[in-house]
């Protein structure tokens, strides 16, 4: 029996976390030959995830350069993937989300007439500059894709409105919830020793912020606001896991480096990050993934962006879109910190994003598409708000 040749391609930390459970599921399926290709758009942050989930790459483009430009990364991936496809031609590639790796690999596959499966398809902020360049990366990948794995009914609607055929869309839930079922544990011991010393009876705020559109004044406002919040609220401690990008790292260190009760940590591995989220009081972030993870754990989220491509948890009330205005960040965060009613309203655990079975649905969808089974898998139905 001919196996379906599936190559999963990713390059950054968030893609790796969300692709890991899917790769495990692909490996378990006897009708699929699964290969893994990393572009290594990130190096250290990617390797950390590969090691954690025990995934070995069959192909590694190793494209990362210090202070890389978007065009440089795009170019190196496009050329590199062509060479890999000349050595090994899959029937289908799987890409994830909205990074430059996602878009460039899809384009390279299309040029070779290889089918593209887009995991986490159909999210839209409807603003081409926010998130930048991710909104456009995700849209362009959608144009190239043959199979669209939409996490929610809402993302499916976005695709239908853009003219994608219903038969090519599979509503699966988000694989990040599959990953969290694996990583989050009671009585978890952190690998990062500093976290084992934190008193979680205090109000611990977990922070991440690194987005390109926030570089400069955005990140500076965020850091200054954090400084003010910690200064005014004695029971608050901040744990900021700082991205390795020097543009981000240097500014965070400059503003918050010497601030009492602010812990600046290097990027945490997926288990430490998910368990920190599970134990903290609330989250402040400009990341996309945390907007999905925190609601699943019932943690209020202040989103340091003006628009989001993930409206489900905003609608449900767990996530508040605040942006990067200094005064507004302080006001909204202190509201969650000090007003029990506001906190209680935001903290209920919801799961509009997944039920832990997304990877299974994606594999079943591939079998269906390649005529190995005759029924389209049932769609994931998240909670409605």
The binding site for ligand UD1 (CB under 6 A) comprises 12-14, 41-45, 66-68, 70, 73, 98-100, 133-134, 210, 212, 243-246
d(C-alpha 34, C-alpha 379), whole Å: 24
Our answer to whether residue 361 is catalytic in this structure is: no
Whole-angstrom Cα distance, residue 289 to residue 224? 24
30 is catalytic: no
Smallest gap from Cβ 160 to ligand UD1, in A, equals 25
Smallest distance from ligand UD1 to CB 247, Å? 8
Active site residue: 25, 60, 120, 355, which one? Answer: 120
DSSP 8-state secondary structure symbol assigned to residue 165:
-
State which residue, 29 or 63, has the beta carbon closest to ligand UD1. Answer: 63
- Residue 98 C-beta: closest distance to ligand UD1, Å: 6
Instruction: Compare residues 133 and 323 and give the one whose CB is closer to ligand UD1.
Output: 133
Candidate list 13, 76, 148, 210, residue with the active-site label: 210
- For the question of residue 312 being annotated catalytic, the response is no
Which residue in this structure is represented by tokens 């909205």? 98
Q: Is residue 60 flagged as an active site residue?
A: no
312: number of Cβ within 10 Å: 26
Distance CA 13, CA 296 (A): 20
Asked if 199 is an active-site residue, the reply is no
- Report, in Å, the least distance between residue 109 CB and ligand UD1: 17
CB of 281 to ligand UD1, least distance (A): 24
Name the active-site residue from 15, 25, 60, 98.
98
**Closer residue to ligand UD1 (CB): 15 or 312:** 15
Q: Which is nearer to ligand UD1, 229 or 283 (CB)?
A: 283
Q: Tokens 């978007």 map to which residue? A: 70
CA gap 120, 123 in Å, rounded:
7
Query: In the numeric block, which tokens belong to residue 74?
Result: 């795009």
Q: Which residues of 30-69 are buried (b: 16+ CB within 10 A; e: fewer)?
A: eebbbbbbbbbbbbebbbbbbebbebebebbbebbeeeee
Q: In which order are the strands placed within the sheet that holds 4-10?
A: 59-60, 32-38, 4-10, 92-96, 115-119, 147-150, 169-171
Residue nearer to ligand UD1 on the CB measure, 174 or 365: 174
From 118, 148, 243, 310, active-site residue: 243
Q: Select from 281, 289, 285, 237 the least CA-distant residue to 259.
A: 237
Please name the residues in contact with 99: beta carbons below 8 A apart, sequence gap of 6 or more.
10, 11, 12, 14, 15, 41, 134, 137
Shortest gap between Cβ of 165 and ligand UD1 (angstroms)?
Answer: 27
What's 29's DSSP letter? Answer: -
DSSP class of residue 3 equals P
In terms of CB distance, is 103 or 170 closer to ligand UD1? 103
How large is the C-alpha radius of gyration of the chain? Answer: 20
Positive or negative torsion for Cα 361, 147, 135, 152:
negative
- CB-wise, 215 or 343, nearer to ligand UD1? 215
Q: Are 325 and 145 within 8 A, CB to CB? A: no
Q: Choose the catalytic residue: 124, 212, 305, 310.
A: 212
Q: Is 296 a catalytic residue?
A: no
Closest distance to ligand UD1 from the beta carbon of 3 (Å): 31
Of 244 and 330, which has the nearer Cβ to ligand UD1?
244
The single residue of 134, 178, 237, 312 carrying the catalytic annotation is 134
Minimum distance of ligand UD1 from residue 245's CB (angstroms): 3
Whole-angstrom distance, CA of residue 327 vs CA of residue 24: 45
The residues carrying an active-site annotation are 98, 120, 134, 210, 212, 243
């Amino acid at each position: 029996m001919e196996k379906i040749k599936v190559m999963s391609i990713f390059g950054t930390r968030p893609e790796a976390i969300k692709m890991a459970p899917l790769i495990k599921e692909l490996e378990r399926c006897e009708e699929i030959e699964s290969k893994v290709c990393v572009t290594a758009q990130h190096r250290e942050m990617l390797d950390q995830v590969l090691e954690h989930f025990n995934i070995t790459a069959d192909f590694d483009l190793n494209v990362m350069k210090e202070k890389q430009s978007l065009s440089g990364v795009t170019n190196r991936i496009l050329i590199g993937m062509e060479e890999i496809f000349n050595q090994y031609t899959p029937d289908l590639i799987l890409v994830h989300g909205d990074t430059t790796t996602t878009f460039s690999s899809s384009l390279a596959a299309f040029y070779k007439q290889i089918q593209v499966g887009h995991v986490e398809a159909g999210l839209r902020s409807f603003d081409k500059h926010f998130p930048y360049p991710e909104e456009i990366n995700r849209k362009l990948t959608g144009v190239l894709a043959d199979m669209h794995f939409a996490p929610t009914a809402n993302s499916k609607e976005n695709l239908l409105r853009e003219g994608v055929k219903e038969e090519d869309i599979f509503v699966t839930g988000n694989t990040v919830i599959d990953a969290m079922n694996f990583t989050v544990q009671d009585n978890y011991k952190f690998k990062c020793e500093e976290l084992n010393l934190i008193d979680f009876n205090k109000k611990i705020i977990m922070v991440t912020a690194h987005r390109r559109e926030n570089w400069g004044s955005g990140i500076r406002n965020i850091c200054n606001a954090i400084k003010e919040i910690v200064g005014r609220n004695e029971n608050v401690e901040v744990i900021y896991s700082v991205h390795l990008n020097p543009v981000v790292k240097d500014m965070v260190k400059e503003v918050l480096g010497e601030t009492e009760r602010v812990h600046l940590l290097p990027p945490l591995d997926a288990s430490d990050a998910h368990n920190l989220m599970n134990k903290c009081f609330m989250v402040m972030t400009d990341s996309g993934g945390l907007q999905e993870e925190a609601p699943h754990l019932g943690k209020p989220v202040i989103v340091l962006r003006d628009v989001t491509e993930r409206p489900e948890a905003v609608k449900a009330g767990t996530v508040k879109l605040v942006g990067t205005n200094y005064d507004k960040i302080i006001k909204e965060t202190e509201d969650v910190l000090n007003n029990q009613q506001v906190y209680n309203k935001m903290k209920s655990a919801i799961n509009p994003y997944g039920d832990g079975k997304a990877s299974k649905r994606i594999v079943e969808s591939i079998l269906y598409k390649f005529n190995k089974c005759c029924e389209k898998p049932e769609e994931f139905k998240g909670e409605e708000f």
